[in-house]
Amino acid sequence: MRSNSSALSLRRWWRSARFAWSGIAHAYRTQANFRIEVGAGVLAVTLALLLHAPLAPILLACALVLSLELVNTALEAVVDLASPDLHPLAKAAKDGAAGAVLVASLGALLVGLVVLGPPLLHLLS
């Protein structure tokens, strides 16, 4: 019985993973900021690999920014569904989520400068 339960759990996991990838694909198709952040992440990871800089902080910073952008996208959709008219609370929710993405992006920029700056300066000097 255990193997049957494991197979069912694995199928549920794959189904959930497909839904998650669908959400990521939707954000990539519809959100210009998400595409910009993906591009910035690819650039940062490429630089880290070329400069032999630590990759973990760059990957974590990128994951944080992209995750928050996905949450922001989802929250905007829910707010638009619940409150199609302009409302101060809807604006506050959207602005707060956008602010979280901005804070994470500035943090990622700082991580990039700290991790990639020294090897880049060494290479250029």
Dump pLDDT digits (tens) for 41-76: 999 999 999 999 999 999 999 999 999 999 999 999
C-alpha 79: how far from its chain's center? 20
Residues 76, 95 share a domain? yes
> So what's the pLDDT on residue 49?
98
Residues 45, 22 share a domain? no
Mean pLDDT of 89-114: 98
- Residue 70: which of 39, 38, 106, 43 has the closest Cα? 38
Residues 65, 8 share a domain? no
91 labeled binding residue: no
- In whole angstroms, give the CA distance from residue 102 to residue 18: 28
Stronger pLDDT, 84 or 63, i.e. the higher one: 63
> So what's the pLDDT on residue 3?
64
Q: State the residue range of the domain holding 16.
A: 1-30
Catalytic residue among 48, 69, 72, 111: 69
Mean pLDDT of 76-95: 95
Instruction: Indicate the average pLDDT of the chain.
Output: 95
The count of domains in the chain is: 2
Residues 62, 98 share a domain? yes
76 labeled binding residue: yes
In this predicted structure, the answer to whether residue 117 has a pLDDT above a threshold of 80 is yes
> Hey, how many other C-beta atoms are within 10 angstroms of the C-beta on 105?
19
- Residue 100: which of 47, 62, 64, 58 has the closest Cα? 64
Under the banding of pLDDT at 50, 70 and 90, the label for residue 7 is confident
In this predicted structure, the answer to whether residue 2 has a pLDDT above a threshold of 80 is no
Mean pLDDT of 88-95: 96
Check if 37 is active-site: no
- Residue 73: which of 117, 23, 109 has the closest Cα? 23
Residues 43, 58 share a domain? yes
> Hey, how many other C-beta atoms are within 10 angstroms of the C-beta on 19?
9
Angle formed by the axes of helices 88-124 and 32-50, nearest 10°? 20
> So what's the pLDDT on residue 107?
99
**HEC string of 7-46?**
HHHHHHHHHHHHHHHHHHHHHHHHCHHHHHHHHHHHHHHH
Identify the H or E element spanning 106. helix 88-124
Mean pLDDT of 96-121: 98
Under the banding of pLDDT at 50, 70 and 90, the label for residue 87 is very high
37 labeled binding residue: no
